Structures are given as C-alpha cells and as structure tokens.
Amino acid sequence: MTQAASQTAYNAAIEETLIAIEDALDNCEVDMDYERADAVLTITLEDKGTQVILSRQSAVQELWVAARSGGYHLSFDDSGNKVGWKCTTTGEDLPTLLDRVLTEQQGAPVTLDF
C-alpha cells in the first residue's frame, strides 16, 4: 500500500481479502476448517493437524501469513496492473503464496480460487 494509503482503505482491503479467502475455503475440495477472530484467520488442515494463520498488522499496514515453512509479510500493492497483496521477501502474490504453503502442509495440491 502506498504511504498515502489511509487506515480505512487498508482495513477495507484486509476485510475484502479475508472474506474472499473464506469463500474460497468453503468451495475447496481439500478438508480444511477455518476460524476467524476479528482480523485473524486460522486455517486448519484436518488431515495433517497443521495450521496456516493470516493476520492483520495495522501498525505496518501488512497482512502476515504464518505457515510451517515460515512467516511471510505481504504489503498491499496498488501501483501496477494487478492490484493485490505481495510478499515482501518472495515476491509472490497472496493466492500463489497461500496455495504453495497449503500444498506444502497438506502434501497434495491445494488451489484456492479467490
């Protein structure tokens, strides 16, 4: 998100993103449960007993993803043709990153459509 981005715009982007992920989880074939508490979304891979956690980090206007393979910080990128969350270390967009970490933890392909 650009430095001029308001807290309101950031909060709206987080909310929209978490709702889209919840909808994608509802439509996914893989056995995953999720629970949301405010702006923390916990995805539990039932077969493996592992979790992936997405959380709002308002102070730095980021979305953090905690997975077995590590922690990832994503900033909102609205500067190019493709608007969305981008990982500050891997360069992956959120759908790519989330599919990758869920696939790694599930041991089988996971694709969320959001």
Reported pTM: 0.88
Q: Yes or no: say if 85 and 93 are a contact pair by the CB < 8 Å rule.
A: yes
With the C-alpha atoms ordered 43, 28, 65, 76, is the resulting torsion angle positive or negative?
Answer: negative
DSSP 2-48: -TT--HHHHHHHHHHHHHHHHHHHHT-SS-EEEEEETTEEEEEETTT
> In this predicted structure, what is the pLDDT of residue 3?
44
> In this predicted structure, what is the pLDDT of residue 7?
84
Query: Which residues contact residue 111 at a Cβ distance below 8 angstroms, ignoring those fewer than 6 apart?
Result: 28, 99
Domains in the chain, ordered, with CATH?
Answer: 7-106 (3.30.920.10)
pLDDT less than 50: residues of the chain: 1-4
> In this predicted structure, what is the pLDDT of residue 81?
61
CA distance 68 to 97: 13
> In this predicted structure, what is the pLDDT of residue 76?
86
What is the distance of C-alpha 99 from the center of its chain?
9
